[in-house]
Amino acid sequence: MKKLIGIASLLLLVVVIASLLSRDPETGTHTFLTAYNIENLLQRIGMFGVLSIAAMFVIVTGGIDLSIGAVVCVVGCVLPWLTRDLGWSPYLALPAALLLAGCIGLWHGLLVTWLGLQSFVVTLCGLLIYRGLMRWFTHDQTMGFGSSGDGLRYLATGRIQVTATFGLPVAALLLLVVAILAAVFMNRTVWGRQLFALGRNEEAARFSGVPTRRLSLLAYVLCSLLAGLGGALFVLDVNSAQASSFGNFYELYAIAGAVLGGVALRGGEGTVIGVVLGAALMQVLSNAINLVADSTQLEFAVVGAVILFGAAADEGVRKLLSRRRAS
């Protein structure tokens, strides 16, 4: 609870500072607080929040998934191909693309659990392989929906009008649904509690009868499924994707949001609410940089600093707990 209060307080502080610094001296308006900016910010929080929840499932087990951005790229290229080039219904193409993403996660899980490879190596290779395959498959050409994706675009670009000037993005509501389902799974089911046990001590969990291999498989499948959902939202938002750049570094945003939200890189600790707050904080920071500094050049520096801060804090907590146990 203390972590959540700390993250929420930090988020509120950044929002206040961004609001004050984004004031236009000529008109007196605060650009950060305009309905247009809040709508776009909530939309980005919705899409990147899904990716951070995806990363959480694997990090909680003590692993890491560096292929999230590449899975986003795969779905971003395959979904337009299915609807425009093959003429599939969007409502059939989306489940098919998500099934492909789930198969990628299953492949990762098998390599980690049955061959004993490190998750870092497996997903790093996956990052390179999937993006390379998509570049070959698309010949580095832009994959666009045209009008074939109109039936699905509402999921990414839709607004539910709340006032005359403000509409709540559907992507933010999708994040809320995903977060509720993830929280119920992690906190109210046996499998969720066993995932935490697996992350805390895999050997002890195995001796306690926890099916560690199957749980690891499940974690990687869920991660890739949600990464695929995020990829669908991103490509539906911009209506096209180019394999050479689509989804680049998105895994870093996902991991940074999860770590900033209190998910321990050593595994066994984290909350869905914290992850959503962490993802929101990442996007608010990015938005504030763009508005105040009028530049995106510092964005990656902020992401790197957040991951480094999270890793340092995680290591500090681990050492503190070790000293307390020893004494």
Cα–Cα distance between 186 and 178 in angstroms, integer? 12
Q: What is the pLDDT of residues 97-119, one digit of tens each?
A: 999 999 999 999 999 999 989 99
Q: In the numeric block, which tokens belong to residue 121?
A: 């190596």
Nearest to 62 by CA among 207, 216, 174, 213: 216
Q: Which residue has the higher pLDDT, 201 or 235?
A: 235
Cβ neighbors of 271 (< 8 A, separation 6 or more) are 3, 4, 183, 186, 261, 262
For the chain, domain boundaries: 35-322
Q: Which residue has the higher pLDDT, 25 or 232?
A: 232
DSSP state of 81: I
Nearest to 43 by CA among 149, 165, 152, 168: 168
Q: What is the pLDDT of residues 288-314, one digit of tens each?
A: 888 876 666 677 787 777 777 766 776
Q: What is the pLDDT of residues 233-245, one digit of tens each?
A: 999 999 999 999 9
Phi, psi (degrees; rounded to nearest 5) at 159: -130, 140
pLDDT-wise least confident of 1-15, 64-78, 189-203 = 1-15
- Calculated CA dihedral for residues 295, 299, 179, 74, nearest 10 degrees: 100
Which stretches within the chain are classed as H helix? 2-21, 35-60, 68-80, 90-113, 119-138, 154-157, 170-188, 190-200, 202-207, 212-238, 250-260, 272-292, 299-326
Phi, psi (degrees; rounded to nearest 5) at 322: -65, -40
Cα–Cα distance between 39 and 132 in angstroms, integer? 34
Cα–Cα distance between 204 and 65 in angstroms, integer? 23
Is the domain spanning 35-322 CATH 1.20.1660? The answer is no
Residue 284 contacts residue 41 (beta carbons within 8 Å): yes
How do strand 159-161 and strand 240-241 relate by DSSP bridges?
unpaired
